[in-house]
Structure 1
């Protein structure tokens, strides 16, 4: 590319970030905002990437990017709450005098995030990092599928309900609707659509009537009236799969396979 050989460089690094909840922002290391493909990339001169190394091998690639928490789009509370976990990131270099000239440098997802003294460091995992995942599953007495996914195949229509928070204390949240069956929301998920936790999601450990117990305390204090979506769950046992969902044919576990926990599974046998 001839523009890279010019005596005066006009190179600027850019980042395009897209969160899992659909929020997307653009940042650039240039000293002023750039408009690229109709999107505004805000100037963030403090954004500094680690060395970018590209190759044609199969080794998983990753890099780090650090910067100051000065942008209203990237705040410390959002990083710590996990809003940016798993966000998609595309990094490229562009000619700031002609944004149509650019070079793709890499893409991936945000992994571990650290904050300290008003600065943050985020690990960017390349697409080849998926090669670190296990090739096959381990056996387990419990089902390894998630309720409603393509392996489970239970229809989720009618198993999701919108509700509003009426009270909250630590991990316990009280809603204005009741569960469909006893502990029907246990093992499910609660998605926040309003209030300070909007866009976040929490796992439900157990439910009783209109009360749900979350796995962890919500990142921010819920307020009465906050809108949520509560999704029915499953305890992943064969008995529940057969009796409650009539779905034993799709059960993805091995409850009768002897294992190293055989003696503890049946005490006194």
Structure 2
């Protein structure tokens, strides 16, 4: 066992150990770093030295309390860049830290496993929160009792196939953009507002993999899509965008726009806040049904 080899080494009193870091982004990019003065390699990853990546002490506790720490690093062109941080490429990235015997990398032990949290940047560097695996215990689980749908369009609960031509468009950009407002020319096969609350994703170019929710979809034929926040990367004419129809989570949209009401994950007929004071009215049909208005 690799940990047993490491423990035997530590018992000697004179040790040859260092730390190795692995950051794996959601787009599959893996970056390895070490505080040793030479490169190390294991598990198919090369851990580069002199990266400027370091960390405060990792506090581990028993039970279900959350293990958090922080990492510090230097922005560099060949590793972690300011442009990638601003573009959100490190959002949700996973992190693993090992204590490694540098002259025998088979002797190692995982000290931390988790994900990157908030990243702040300063003069030539950055500081990132690291969240342990128990961080997920802070997330809300289960369904919420509300009128609107709790599923995400196209996920396992929604079950709607968003890759249909009527609901998804791959478009080669023909006009300049600031990363937040996009003009799509000659798009006439979709109703006005069809993509509002939908998703815009960049498939090619320097911004490939970046995406955000569409705030508004204005016009027909030539339409203007505005995102809630800009994509912080260079996007130029010729880049390919993928635009997916939006869903406002209401029962009417699910039934009329997507014909998917059987999979609706909300409670459209739940009583409103004033249901206790609802009474029959002489100008309404009172057929014994719900009095909720």
**Given the two structures, how large is their TM-score scaled by the length of structure 2?**
0.82
Indicate the residue corresponding to 1:26 in structure 2: 32
- Structure 1 position 172 matched with structure 2 position 172: no
1:47 to 43, 48, 53: 53
Structure 1 match to 2:253:
240
Deviation track 1:168-204 (CA, whole Å, cap 9, x = no partner) reads: 4443202356263332221111111223322211111
CA 54–71 in structure 1, closer or farther in 2 if over 3 Å, else same:
farther
Structure 1 residues not aligned, in runs of 5+ = 263-268
Correspondence for 1:147: 153
Alignment of 1:154-233 (within 5 A): 154-158=160-164, 159-170=167-178, 171-175=180-184, 178=187, 180-207=190-217, 208-209=219-220, 210-233=223-246
The Cα offsets for residues 57-105 of structure 1, whole Å up to 9 and x where unpaired, read as 1112211111222362201121122110100111111111011110111
Deviates more, 1:131-140 or 1:115-124: 131-140
Give the direction of change, closer, same or farther, for the CA distance of 1:70–1:220 in structure 2 (3 Å limit).
Answer: closer
Runs of 4+ in 1 over 6 A off after TM superposition: none
Task: Name the larger-Rg structure.
Answer: 2
The residue number in structure 2 matching 1:9 is 15
**Is contact 1:60-1:132 (8 Å) kept?**
no
Provide the C-alpha distance between the structure 1 equivalents of 2:198 and 2:114, rounded to a whole number of angstroms: 28
Q: CA RMSD in A?
A: 2.1
Once the two structures are TM-superposed, the CA of residue 48 in structure 1 deviates from its matched residue by: 1.8
Q: Do the aligned residues in 1 keep the contact of 2:177 with 2:236 (CA within 8 Å)?
A: no
CA distance in 2, matches of 1:109, 1:193: 25
Distance 1:242 1:211, change over 3 A: same
Q: Aligned with 1:86: secondary structure?
A: coil
Question: Contact conserved, 2:184 with 2:224, CA < 8 A, in 1?
Answer: yes
Q: Is the 8 A contact 2:31 2:47 kept in 1?
A: yes
Quick one: distance in 2 between partners of 1:56 and 1:177?
A: 60
In the aligned structure 2, how far is the partner of 1:24 from the partner of 1:60? 25
Query: Structure 2: how far apart are the matches of 1:68 and 1:172?
Result: 32
**Which is richer in strand?**
1
* Residue 160 of structure 1: how far off its partner (Å): 3.1
State the alpha-carbon separation in 1 of the partners of residues 184 and 216 from structure 2.
Answer: 14
Asked if residue 122 in structure 1 is aligned to residue 128 in structure 2, the reply is yes
Give ranges in structure 2 of 5+ residues lacking alignment. Answer: 1-6, 276-292
TM, length-normalised to structure 1: 0.89
Asked if 2 retains the 8 angstrom alpha-carbon contact of 1:165 and 1:226, the reply is yes
Partner SS state of residue 174, structure 2: strand
Q: How many residues align?
A: 263
